[in-house]
């Protein structure tokens, strides 16, 4: 009886009970992925899950599958559930604004991973250093072409990560006056659309020498088109270093190299930034994650990649 009275008095005075309740509260984080169809996002999700488990956070994971309206609805559902934080990999960097602002209005912190938002308030964006990655792709292709040739970009300009990649790529290509970008087309970051877009480019450019695909779905779609048109002399550089692309590179196809990303690391760091935010620590608005370049020699030496 005395113990109960003491506990009641302590709670009335705001001592220890609040702390105990805070410790017992499991943080819930809503995750709105771009897709689960890409290996990159499967790896990113694995990184999120593993680190969330270490931090004892509950994840509610959804996937928009490139549907902006669906992704905004997913964020609205997170707001209705009163999650403690939201992670978004935007379908459209500008179009996602209304969803992020809904979370802002509810005072729910928003973090973006891989793809940034151009609208709304975001605590921190965690992504590959995509400008650096684009530069690596440009350097590889320029060297492979000996500084001369006609090239195309298979793009997807609705995503900030892609805009950054293309920016870095073009910066480097501009240093080689013998290289001309003759086409910059939207393959929508998926293989079948990239095949169609590349086929159109090949029909209009019988002397094409190189292609930069902004992700592996784009690069593999370009490879499909190049093989259909029997244009094996074209050099393709991709971005992501997924197993299908690594296989194509090691088999000696026209896909010669890939910018390699570390999506599991992106997922891990995203949860770490949320942990620091919850702890009241300063969180940087941008956290760039390293990238590299991988060719056949790299993949043969690192078969686990």
What CATH number has the domain bearing residue 228? 3.40.50.2300
36 domain residue, yes or no: yes
pLDDT given for residue 302 in this prediction: 84
Q: Is residue 21 part of a domain?
A: no
For residue 64, the 8-state DSSP code is -
Distance, in Å, from the CA atom of 41 to the CA atom of 26, rounded to the nearest integer, reads: 25
Give the residue among 201, 193, 189 at the shortest CA–CA distance from 160.
189
Predicted confidence (pLDDT) per residue in 105-124, tens digit = 999 999 999 999 999 999 99
Q: What is the mean pLDDT of the chain?
A: 92
User: What are the residues whose beta carbons fall under 8 Å from the beta carbon of 22, sequence distance 6 or more?
Assistant: none
Do 73 and 93 belong to one domain? yes
Q: Residues 127, 161: contact at Cβ < 8 Å?
A: yes
The answer on 175 and 66 residing in a single domain is no
| pLDDT, tens digit (0-9, with 9 covering 90-100), for 219-265 | 999 999 999 999 999 999 999 999 999 999 999 999 999 999 999 99
Q: Inform me whether the pLDDT recorded for 18 exceeds 50.
A: no
Q: 24: Cβ–Cβ under 8 A, 6 or more apart, which residues?
A: none
Q: Considering only 3-17, 132-146, 172-186, which range has the smallest mean pLDDT?
A: 3-17
- My answer on whether 90 and 154 are in the same domain is no
Average pLDDT in the 261-275 region? Answer: 97
If asked whether residues 270 and 161 sit together in one domain, one would say no
Strand partners, 127: 288
Q: Assign 12 a pLDDT band (cuts: 50, 70, 90).
A: very low
Which range marks the domain in which residue 209 is found? 130-262+295-301
Whether 1 maps to a domain, the answer reads no
Residue 119 shares a structural domain with residue 173: no
Going by pLDDT thresholds of 50, 70 and 90, the confidence category of residue 174 is very high
Q: Mean pLDDT, to the nearest integer, of 23-29?
A: 80
Backbone angles phi, psi at 256, to 5 degrees: -100, -25
pLDDT bin (cut points 50, 70, 90) of residue 305 is low
Cα–Cα dist 156/240, whole Å: 14
Residue 123 falls inside a structural domain: yes
Look at residue 2 and tell me whether its pLDDT is greater than 70: no
291 has pLDDT over 70 = yes
Do 57 and 85 lie in a common domain? yes
CA triple 234-237-241, angle to 5 deg:
140
Same domain, 134 and 209: yes
Residue 21 reports pLDDT greater than 50: no
Two structure tokens written together for 211: 């292609």
Q: Are residues 49 and 123 in the same domain?
A: yes
pLDDT score, position 74: 98
Count of structural domains, the chain: 2
Residue 263 has what pLDDT? 94
Same domain, 135 and 258: yes
In a domain, 13, yes or no: no
Helix locations, the chain, DSSP H: 2-12, 17-24, 39-55, 68-81, 97-105, 130-144, 160-173, 191-204, 216-228, 243-250, 263-278, 296-301
3-state secondary structure string across 92-104: CCCCCHHHHHHHH
Confidence of residue 5 (pLDDT cuts 50, 70, 90): very low
Domain membership of residue 103 (yes or no) is yes
Give the pLDDT of residue 13.
46
Q: Would residue 20 count as lying in a domain?
A: no
Residues 34-61: tens digit of each pLDDT: 999 888 899 999 999 999 999 999 999 9
Tell me: the pLDDT tens digits for 187-207?
999 999 999 999 999 999 999
If asked whether residues 169 and 258 sit together in one domain, one would say yes
Assigned domain for 19 exists: no
Q: In this structure, are 46 and 77 located in the same domain?
A: yes
Residues 144 and 254 in one domain: yes
């Amino acid at each position: 009886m005395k113990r109960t009275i003491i506990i009641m008095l302590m709670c009335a005075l705001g001592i220890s009970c609040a702390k105990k309740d805070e410790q017992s509260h499991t943080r819930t984080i809503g995750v709105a992925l771009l897709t689960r169809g890409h290996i990159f996002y499967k790896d990113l999700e694995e990184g999120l899950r593993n680190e969330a488990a270490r931090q004892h956070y509950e994840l509610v994971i959804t996937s928009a599958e490139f549907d902006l309206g669906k992704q905004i609805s997913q964020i609205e559902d997170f707001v209705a559930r009163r999650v403690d934080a939201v992670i978004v990999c935007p379908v459209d960097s500008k179009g996602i604004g209304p969803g992020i602002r809904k979370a802002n209005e509810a005072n729910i912190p928003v973090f973006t991973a891989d793809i940034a938002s151009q609208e709304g308030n975001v605590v921190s964006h965690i992504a590959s250093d995509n400008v650096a990655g684009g530069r690596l792709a440009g350097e590889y292709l320029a060297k492979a072409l000996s500084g001369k040739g006609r090239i195309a970009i298979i793009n997807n300009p609705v995503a900030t990560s892609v805009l950054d990649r293309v920016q870095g790529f073009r910066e480097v290509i501009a240093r080689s006056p013998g290289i001309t970008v003759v086409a910059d087309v939207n393959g929508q970051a998926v293989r079948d659309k990239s095949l169609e877009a590349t086929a159109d480019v090949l029909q209009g450019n019988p002397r094409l020498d190189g292609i930069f695909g902004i992700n592996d779905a784009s690069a593999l779609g370009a490879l499909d088109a190049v093989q259909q048109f029997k244009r094996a002399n074209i050099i393709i550089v991709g971005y992501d270093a997924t197993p299908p692309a690594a296989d194509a590179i090691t088999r000696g196809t026209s896909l010669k190299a890939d910018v390699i990303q570390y999506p599991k690391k992106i997922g891990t760091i995203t949860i770490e930034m949320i942990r620091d935010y919850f702890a009241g620590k300063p969180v940087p608005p941008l956290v760039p994650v390293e990238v590299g370049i991988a060719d056949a020699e790299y993949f043969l030496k690192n078969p686990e990649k």
